[in-house]
């Protein structure tokens, strides 16, 4: 979070300050990669928007 808010991450540099509204943790890196890929799909984006509807107004 500190690196994001300090502008050190290209992907989020123009969207500061960043506020954490959702967090998932995995024990196995492969599971993390698989979940991230899913969340970047149309279905995954739709699911996360529906799930966090009140948080991302």
Does pLDDT of 31 surpass 90? yes
> Looking at the 3D structure of the chain, how many domains does it have?
1
Residue 56 lies in a domain: no
Indicate whether 36 belongs to any domain: yes
DSSP string, 1-52: -HHHHTT--GGGGGGPSP--------SSHHHHHHHHHHHTSHHHHHHHHHHT
In a domain, 39, yes or no: yes
- Specify the pLDDT at position 57: 75
Domain that holds residue 31: 2-51
Give the mean model confidence (pLDDT) for residues 6-10.
94
The pTM of the full predicted model, rounded to 2 decimals, is 0.71
Whole-number pLDDT of residue 22: 94
Please report whether residue 57 resides in a domain.
no
* Residue 29: inside a domain: yes
> Considering the domain boundaries, does residue 31 fall inside one?
yes
Residue range 37-55: mean pLDDT, rounded: 96
What percentage of residues in the chain have a pLDDT greater than 70? 100
16 backbone φψ class: left, alpha, beta (φ>0; ψ -120 to 50): beta
pLDDT score at 53: 94
Residue 33 lies in a domain: yes
Residue 6 lies in a domain: yes
């Amino acid at each position: 979070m500190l690196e994001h808010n300090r502008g050190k991450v290209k992907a989020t540099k123009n969207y500061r300050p960043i506020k954490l509204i959702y967090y998932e943790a995995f024990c196995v890196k492969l599971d993390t990669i698989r979940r991230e890929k899913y969340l970047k799909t149309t279905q995954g984006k739709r699911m996360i928007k529906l799930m966090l509807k009140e948080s991302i107004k």
